Amino acid sequence: MTALPDTAPTRAAPPGQRSPLPDVEPEQSTFFDRFLVGIFVVVPLVAVAAAVPLAWGWGLGWHDIVIAAVFYVIAGMGISMGFHRHFTHGSFKAAKPLRVAMAIGGSLAVEGPVLVWVADHRRHHKYSDREGDPHSPWRFGNDWKALSKGLAYAHVGWLFDPNRTSQQKFCPDLLADRPIRRVSKTFPLWAAVSLLGPALIGGLWSMSWAGALTAFFWASLVRICLLHHVTWSINSVCHTFGTEDFETRDKSRNFAWLAIPSFGESWHNLHHADPTCARHGALRGQIDISARVIRWAEQLGWAWDVRWPDSQRLSPKLTGLRNVSLGAMTKGMGAANAVTSDQPTAMMGE
C-alpha cells in the first residue's frame, strides 16, 4: 500500500455547480496549538511513568482510586456514548439535557472539542484505511517497518498534523446546534475542570494539601493518560490486530482485551461494517457497556430511535471465519432500521 497523503484530492465541480467543500480548513493549526497537544500528550504520560515508584512507597490512596474511577467513567462514556455513537454517527436521538451532558462528559477526556473530534472521526470513516484517512496505520505500507511507523502515527503522531479537518464539510449539523457549539467553544474550561476538579475534590475529601496533590497526580494526570491511550488504541491496534467477524472495506478488527476499558469501542470490526449501529459488540458474549447505558436511557425515555443491531443487515456480512452468532439485543427490524438518505454522508460511510 502506498503512502496516504494527509488529504484526499478535491475534484473540480461540473460547469454551473459550486465546488465541493475541501476536507481540511484553508488555515493550518498554529505551532502553539500543536505545542498544547504535546503538553496534553507528554505530561500525563510522564505521570504514568512515575506512577509505579510513587505507588510503591507513597501516595496512592482509596480516595484517589474512587475519584479517578468516577472521572474515567464519565469522560470515557462521554467519548464512547456521546462523541462517537451519538454525535458522530447518530446511533440514537437524545433529550437536550442528555446531549449536553454527553458533550461535557466527552470534553472531560481532554481529547479536543466535540466539533473537532466529530469532524476528524467522520473524515476517518469516509476514507477508512484509504487516501484521506487522517490516522490509518497502513498509510506507509504493509511491511513490518512501515507498519511500525504507521502504528505510531495512527496512535499519536496524527495529532500533530497541522491540517485541520473542515467542520463546515463534516459536521454542519453540529455547527448549527447552539448548545453543542457552545460546549465545543468552551473546551478549555472543561479541560481545566478535568485537570483541577479531582485535586479540589481530593483536597476537600481529605482536608489536606497532600490529598489534593495525590488526587491531581492519580485522578487527573494518570487517569487522562490511560483514557487517551485506550481511545487512541482504537485508531491503531483495532485497525491492525484482532478478529474480523464482519466484512468491511477496510482493516478494522475486534480486540477483546480493550472492550471494558473502552466501554465497548474495541468491537471495531462490527462498527465499520455498520457504522450507525448503537451496539458495537453485537455478537453473543461481547461486553458493550455503552450499549447497555443507551438501553437504560431508552427505557427512561431519554433516548429514542436507537439503531439496534439488525439481523437482516448484519447476518449477510458475517465472514464465517469463526463460529459466532448475533447477540440477544439484535432485532429483526429490516427496512425500519435502514440508513435514510437525509443523514450526512459522513455518517453513512464505513
Tell me the pLDDT tens digit for each residue of 323-343. 888 876 676 533 333 333 333
Boundaries of every domain in the chain: 31-348
- Do 274 and 81 touch, CB atoms closer than 8 A? no
pLDDT tier for residue 238 given thresholds of 50, 70 and 90: very high
Question: Radius of gyration of the chain from Cα atoms?
Answer: 20
- DSSP letter string over 2-29? PPPPSSPPPPPPPTTSPPPPPSB-SSPP
Query: % helix / strand / coil in the chain, to the nearest 5?
Result: 55, 5, 40
pLDDT tier for residue 102 given thresholds of 50, 70 and 90: very high
Distance (Å, whole) CA 302 – CA 296: 9
Please give the backbone phi and psi of residue 246, each rounded to the nearest 5 degrees, phi first. Answer: -125, 145
Residue pLDDT, tens place only, 272-297: 999 999 999 999 889 999 999 999 99
Q: What grid cell was written down for 119?
A: 469532524
Residue pLDDT, tens place only, 179-213: 999 999 999 999 999 999 999 999 999 999 999 99
pLDDT tier for residue 308 given thresholds of 50, 70 and 90: very high
Residue 320 has pLDDT above 90, yes or no: no
Strands (E), 170-317: 303-304
Alpha helices in 141-222 (DSSP H): 144-155, 167-170, 172-175, 178-185, 187-206, 209-215
How many residues does the structure list for the chain? 350
- Do 154 and 239 touch, CB atoms closer than 8 A? yes
- DSSP letter string over 68-98? HHHHHHHHHHIIIIIIIIIIIT--SEE-HHH
User: What's the pLDDT at 289?
Assistant: 97
Highest mean pLDDT among 5-9, 47-51, 138-142 belongs to 138-142
Q: What grid cell was written down for 41?
A: 500528550
Distance (Å, whole) CA 336 – CA 195: 44
